[in-house]
Structure 1
Amino acid sequence: MTDGNLITLISIGVTFLFMLGTPVLLVIFYWTIGCSAVLGLTFDNTGSELMNTFNKGFALLAMPLFILTGDLINMSGIAKRLSDFAYACLGWLRGGLAMAALGACGLFAAISGSNSATTATIGSMLHPEMVKGGYDERFSAATAAAGGTVGIIIPPSIIFIVYGFLMNLPISDLFVAGILPGTLMVVGMQFACWIICRLNGWGHLIPLQLNRVLKTAFGAWLGFFAIGLVLWGIYTGKFSPTEAAGVTVGFCIIVGLICYPINKILKSDDDTPVTEKGFTEMFVVGGFTIAQIPGIVVRSAQITGILAPLIAVSIAMQQVLSALGAQQIIGDFVTGMGGYYAVLFTSMVIVFFAGMILESLPVTIILAPILAPIAASVGIDAIHFSVIFLVGASIGFITPPYGLNLYVASGVTGVPYFRLLRYTVPYLAALISVWVLVALVPDLALILLPNR
């Protein structure tokens, strides 16, 4: 049997395993090991590549830290304050609570950098409230799933860190380039949400009151401070993205530990005047104890333990693809499409369909080194292309059959996966529209960058 036939059988076998629900990490690993054996690549080389992935990537240290940040802000109560502020601003519109959930996703993403953490946190908090407010449970779960897509676009972003590491691009520039596109994604989904809710008459309206907006804004000041701290530090060059992650983790731990005893005192001291207690509670979040920190760290480590090996195995997979000539084949195909716009939209189509069956991490690790140089050869700015690439990869979070955010939303809301699909269509349309707009207007990604 020829090598080509053996590799075809291996590919069919791992595809079958994937369809049975085998984790993507194991699917890629089995395929890489099997093809390496067929091609005569030594396992020593594969093992060395797995180890060297993290020995040469200081920037990747930011990944577990930003994941931990997301868990800390959720546990401390900062995420709840951000969602309350979003609802105070948007509750007067039809579908205001659902639009607030999308806005809260954007605010949460600006601290956590994770799509799954964003979906899980906002979905678990606001799905019950939306159902009580008269929204269809399928729509509310789909809203949480769609909102989570901005988790990897609005900085800080774990996938931007990986992309910058792979393509040797300044991560701080990638972060800044994601601000406007991520914001447009939120606004586009909110518009689609408003149309759907208006057609179905969903949601109870609350009056737009300046005092409510100001009160919730003051209550969310710690969240705004954390967002501003990250963006200010990275944008001004005061610290690297990795350092920003460490600073944010330290800030969240300090806030959580300080606020917890204050809340205990407020709840136990019945002699405190109501006005004084209300004023203090507005500025103090729930917090957590030192004893709870190990549990938070373990949850974050579990997510990191899934992502980190996936990065290493996917990079090892690149060697096999290179030996097979896959990069050359894809490169020749894309290059053969023609000039600037042909290469741009062909690349977008490839990323979109890859996102339907793979998570954004392997999509980025496998395709970015192939498509980015081709894009650069026809004059597409490297930073602009990175945003185009990753916005497309983020859309894959709500496109079946993979749709990671759909699985996460289903898990935290109890709504079956296939029942969510109908209500993801309007959000998909909104996201694809924004994606095309960002591709056609480079300034949406580049205008905030210095020296541009």
Structure 2
Amino acid sequence: MMALLLFLSFVVLLLLGFPVAFSLGVSSLFYLLVKGIPLSIIPQKMYSGIDSFVLLCIPAFIVAGNLMNTAGITRRIINFSNAIVGHIRGGLALANVAASMIFAGISGTALADTASIGAILIPAMKEEGYDADFSAAVTASSSTVGPIIPPSVPMIIVGTLTGLSVTRLFLAGAIPGVILGFSLMAITYYLSVKRNYPKEERLSLRAVFRTFLDASWALGMVVLILVGILGGIFTPTEASVVAVVYALLVGTLVYRELKPGDIPRIVVESVRMTTSVMVLVGLARLFAWIITTERIPQLVAQGILSISTNPFVVILLINAILLFVGCFMETVAALVIFVPVLLPVAMKIGMDPIHFAVMVVLNLIIGLTTPPVGVCLFVAANIARISLGDLVRANVPFFLVLLAVLFLVSYCPPLSLALPGLLR
């Protein structure tokens, strides 16, 4: 009964427009007051939720992403991507997806991808003759690659929740992330040909090489992070700090677009973003503790397994639950709450925890492009100056591709487990 009141209060607060973090906090407070539990449990659980060495990755990767945008690193990645695929029909749209795949190797967040790449490419695509809704849909959907290809902030969260190796989780997302990127390129090319979107002139090899040289320092950041983590040179947390130092040096000494006066603004913006994430993680951990106390994971496991013990059906049910949750809840909060609930179910049908983690992250990242709480949709629609309804309609083909990749990853474990198996 108390668990039902907890969830009801949480849903009501969300419907009233409360931010997810405050909805989690207020509903948890309501539960504690009714049950007579000392309120001192709130700071205890919040602190234990964020007291993790691995979570230090998050502020560092946020700072690195903000430094990249200010230093011109993002723009050079886009120019290089356009030089490679710009001559194909719909080349600028394909460059959008390609830039997201490269950017994914640095930022690890979908929202940062949408905001930084979208701010440059959506206006450029509109100017070239692409429909505004198509431009925004390509940007929003391709940003989902960011949290799958390593490094990945959601994978870091899952690692802290489950005790799984973050390096192995990063490796597990590599192949699904590449498949997702190329699948989005395929639907982008199909729609571009069908609608006769423009293509640019093919650049000479010398011109392509010039853009590669200009972007080489930016691409070097991707190589440094991935080789460093996967080669065991440094941990993911250390890699995030290396990324900050690298972006700072390249922005000030190589590209010389990062000025000393930009640093205070970047620090303040990064602190603001980090604070919102950490408060959300802390309150979500409190909410998750209450759920565990009420034995919700066991009840959910019994409920799902009472419907079927067939692995195919159970995985389908887990996907349906997560896709629904992703429509209404922010990714980090959903991970903190539902990973402990659904992991026991997955393990009872013999699912590998690493495979489960990739499936969960992909599910919830898709939620960033679905209404009513798809934040990537809101950002892209705002940049493109179109209504959310127009963008949702334009995004349907991309959403179907995301679903197809999700089910491929869900029912083909080697896609997620092959690279972590090599590490083992």
- Please state which band the TM-score falls in when normalised by the shorter chain: over 0.9
Equivalent pair of 2:133/2:384 in contact (CA under 8 Å): no
The equivalent of 1:171 in structure 2 is 166
Partners of 1:43 and 1:70 in 2: CA distance? 37
Deviations 1:321-363 (A, max 9, x none): 1233322221112223213222222211111111011111111
Partners of 2:327 and 2:211 in 1: CA distance? 38
Partners of 2:414 and 2:298 in 1: CA distance? 31
Q: 2:328 aligned to 352, 357, 365, which one? A: 357
Q: 1:72 aligned to 38, 62, 67, which one? A: 67
Give the residue type in structure 1 aligned to 2:319: M
Matched, 1:425 2:417: no
**Do the aligned partners of residues 8 and 175 (structure 1) sit closer, same or farther apart at CA in structure 2, a change above 3 Å counting?**
closer
Equivalent pair of 2:309/2:349 in contact (CA under 8 Å): no
**Do the aligned partners of residues 11 and 378 (structure 1) sit closer, same or farther apart at CA in structure 2, a change above 3 Å counting?**
closer
Give the residue type in structure 1 aligned to 2:291: L
Q: 2:309 aligned to 333, 338, 361, which one? A: 338
The equivalent of 2:102 in structure 1 is 107
Aligned-residue CA RMSD (Å): 1.7
Equivalent pair of 1:77/1:286 in contact (CA under 8 Å): no
**Do the aligned partners of residues 426 and 185 (structure 1) sit closer, same or farther apart at CA in structure 2, a change above 3 Å counting?**
same
Q: Give the structure-1-normalised TM-score.
A: 0.90
Equivalent pair of 1:133/1:204 in contact (CA under 8 Å): no
Partners of 2:414 and 2:31 in 1: CA distance? 43
The equivalent of 2:252 in structure 1 is 257
User: Displacement of 1:104 after TM fit?
Assistant: 0.6
Give the residue type in structure 1 aligned to 2:289: Q
Give the residue type in structure 2 aligned to 1:323: T
Partners of 1:212 and 1:375 in 2: CA distance? 51
Q: Give the structure-2-normalised TM-score.
A: 0.95
Equivalent pair of 2:6/2:28 in contact (CA under 8 Å): no
Partners of 1:296 and 1:120 in 2: CA distance? 15
Partners of 2:252 and 2:315 in 1: CA distance? 49
Partners of 1:148 and 1:210 in 2: CA distance? 29
Give the residue type in structure 2 aligned to 1:332: Q
Q: 1:28 aligned to 6, 20, 24, which one? A: 24
Q: 2:282 aligned to 309, 312, 315, which one? A: 312
User: Displacement of 1:208 after TM fit?
Assistant: 5.3
Q: 1:436 aligned to 387, 407, 421, which one? A: 407
Deviations 1:253-280 (A, max 9, x none): 1111113xxxxxxxxxxxxxxxxxxxxx
Matched, 1:448 2:419: yes
The equivalent of 1:95 in structure 2 is 90
**Bigger mean CA deviation after superposition, 7-16 or 365-374:** 7-16
Partners of 1:171 and 1:98 in 2: CA distance? 32
**Do the aligned partners of residues 228 and 189 (structure 1) sit closer, same or farther apart at CA in structure 2, a change above 3 Å counting?**
same
Point out which structure has higher relative CO (alpha carbons under 8 A, 6+ apart).
2
Equivalent pair of 2:297/2:344 in contact (CA under 8 Å): no
Deviations 1:50-75 (A, max 9, x none): 122223x1000011000111111111
Matched, 1:186 2:181: yes
**Bigger mean CA deviation after superposition, 368-377 or 186-195:** 368-377
Q: How does 1:175-254 map to 2 (within 5 A)?
A: 175-207=170-202, 209-254=204-249
Give secondary structure in 1 for the equivalent of 2:289. Answer: helix
Equivalent pair of 1:153/1:390 in contact (CA under 8 Å): yes
Partners of 1:249 and 1:287 in 2: CA distance? 16
Partners of 1:49 and 1:221 in 2: CA distance? 44
The equivalent of 1:371 in structure 2 is 342
Partners of 2:344 and 2:225 in 1: CA distance? 30
**Do the aligned partners of residues 199 and 286 (structure 1) sit closer, same or farther apart at CA in structure 2, a change above 3 Å counting?**
farther
The percent of aligned pairs where both chains have the same amino acid is: 32
**Bigger mean CA deviation after superposition, 434-443 or 13-22:** 13-22
Q: 2:126 aligned to 131, 134, 147, which one? A: 131
Matched, 1:291 2:286: no
Matched, 1:122 2:117: yes
Q: 1:396 aligned to 367, 377, 388, which one? A: 367
**Do the aligned partners of residues 334 and 246 (structure 1) sit closer, same or farther apart at CA in structure 2, a change above 3 Å counting?**
same
Equivalent pair of 1:134/1:204 in contact (CA under 8 Å): no
The equivalent of 1:38 in structure 2 is 34
**Bigger mean CA deviation after superposition, 290-299 or 122-131:** 290-299
Partners of 1:300 and 1:451 in 2: CA distance? 33
Deviations 1:236-257 (A, max 9, x none): 1111000000011011111111
Partners of 1:257 and 1:69 in 2: CA distance? 13
User: Displacement of 1:128 after TM fit?
Assistant: 0.8
Q: How does 1:153-164 map to 2 (within 5 A)?
A: 153-164=148-159
Aligned residues: 422
Deviations 1:367-421 (A, max 9, x none): 1112122212222111111111111111111011111111121233332322211
Equivalent pair of 1:234/1:240 in contact (CA under 8 Å): yes
Partners of 1:229 and 1:373 in 2: CA distance? 36
Give secondary structure in 2 for the equivalent of 1:204. Answer: coil
Give secondary structure in 1 for the equivalent of 2:351. Answer: coil
Q: How does 1:267-278 map to 2 (within 5 A)?
A: none
The equivalent of 2:58 in structure 1 is 63
Partners of 1:435 and 1:223 in 2: CA distance? 30
**Do the aligned partners of residues 26 and 292 (structure 1) sit closer, same or farther apart at CA in structure 2, a change above 3 Å counting?**
same
Equivalent pair of 1:127/1:141 in contact (CA under 8 Å): yes
User: Displacement of 1:317 after TM fit?
Assistant: 0.2
Partners of 1:429 and 1:118 in 2: CA distance? 21
Matched, 1:47 2:43: yes
Partners of 2:357 and 2:4 in 1: CA distance? 31
Matched, 1:327 2:321: no
User: Displacement of 1:9 after TM fit?
Assistant: 6.1
